[in-house]
Amino acid sequence: MNKKAEFAGSFYPASSEDLNNLLEMYKQEQEDVKFKSKAIIVPHAGYIFSGHAAMSGFLHLEAAENIFIIAPSHHNNFNNIVLPKYTYFETPLGSVEVNNRLIKEIVDKYPCTIDDEPFNGEHAIEVELPFLQNIFYPQRQNAADFVKNLKKLGRRLKIVPMLIGKCDYRLVADIIAEYWENSAFVISSDLSHYFPQEQCRQIDNYTATIIETGKHECLVPEQACGITGIKGLVEFADNNSCSMIRTEMYNSGDINNSKERVVGYGAWFLYTGSKNDYIERFYSKYILDTVKQTIINTLEEKPALPEKVPTVFKQLGASFVTIKSNNQLRGCMGSVYPKKPLIADIIDNTQNAAFQDFRFEPVTAEEINSLDFSVSLLSEIERIDFKGEKDLLSKIYPHGIIISDRNKRAAYLPIVWEQLPDREIFLNSLKEKAGLPPTYFSGTLEAYKFSTTDILSTNYIL
pLDDT at 148 (0 to 100): 53
Structural contact between residues 404 and 436, judged by C-beta atoms closer than 8 angstroms? no
pLDDT at 293 (0 to 100): 95
Amino acid letter, 381 = I
The C-alpha atoms of residue 43 and residue 72 are separated, in whole angstroms, by: 11
**282-367 architecture in CATH?**
2-Layer Sandwich (3.30)
Structural contact between residues 371 and 356, judged by C-beta atoms closer than 8 angstroms? no
pLDDT at 305 (0 to 100): 86
This prediction has a pTM of 0.90
**C-alpha angle 81/213/59, rounded to 5°?**
65
Considering only the top CATH level, what class is 382-453?
Answer: alpha beta
pLDDT at 114 (0 to 100): 97
Element (H, E) at 162: strand 158-164
Structural contact between residues 302 and 280, judged by C-beta atoms closer than 8 angstroms? no
The whole-number mean pLDDT for each consecutive block of 10 residues of the chain, a chain of 462 residues, reads: 95 97 95 96 97 98 96 94 97 96 97 96 98 85 48 68 96 97 97 96 96 91 96 97 97 93 97 96 96 96 89 95 93 93 97 95 94 95 95 96 94 93 96 94 95 82 52
Structural contact between residues 192 and 223, judged by C-beta atoms closer than 8 angstroms? yes
Element (H, E) at 408: strand 408-412
CATH 3.40.830.10 range(s) for the chain read: 2-273
Sign of the dihedral defined by the CA atoms of residues 428, 434, 440, 445, in that order: negative
CATH 3.30.1490.150 range(s) for the chain read: 382-453
Look at residue 300 and give its three-state secondary structure.
Answer: coil
Structural contact between residues 313 and 341, judged by C-beta atoms closer than 8 angstroms? yes
CATH 3.30.700.20 range(s) for the chain read: 282-367
**2-273 architecture in CATH?**
3-Layer(aba) Sandwich (3.40)
For residue 320, what are the β-bridge partners?
Answer: 334, 376
pLDDT at 141 (0 to 100): 45
Is the link from the previous residue into 398 a cis peptide, with omega within 30 of 0?
yes
The C-alpha atoms of residue 340 and residue 455 are separated, in whole angstroms, by: 20
pLDDT at 1 (0 to 100): 87
